[in-house]
Amino acid sequence: MMIKAVLRNGAILPLEPLPPDWTEGKELAVEDPSVGGAEDIDAWARELEAAVRQLPAEEHDHFRRALEDIERRSKEAVRIEWGLT
């Protein structure tokens, strides 16, 4: 998993929440995103697209249905929170 962070006063500070399984003392690798640049990102995207093409169609359908369910539940939760239901 990759998260974004900044270097400030010699300390690396995350810009987003850390994964819950990252505990104190966990060793992490830090890379400079400006090194390698677009070629590395393009190569990664090609590898990812090749891996996705190998998934069976039913896996794509399962993932799509799961996303639709998450969206429905999220909207439902907001309606309840706002007192709309």
Residue-wise pLDDT for 36-66, tens only, equals 666 777 888 999 999 989 999 899 999 999 9
Position 6 scores a pLDDT of 93
Average pLDDT over residues 1-30: 91
Of 63, 83, 60, give the one whose Cα is nearest residue 71.
63
Position 36 scores a pLDDT of 66
Given a contact cutoff of 8 angstroms between Cβ atoms, the answer to whether 18 and 3 are in contact is: yes
Residues forming beta bridges with residue 5, ordered by sequence position: 14
Q: What is the mean pLDDT of the chain?
A: 90
- What is the pTM (predicted TM-score) of this model? 0.42
Of 50, 40, 2, 42, give the one whose Cα is nearest residue 22.
2
Given a contact cutoff of 8 angstroms between Cβ atoms, the answer to whether 4 and 16 are in contact is: yes
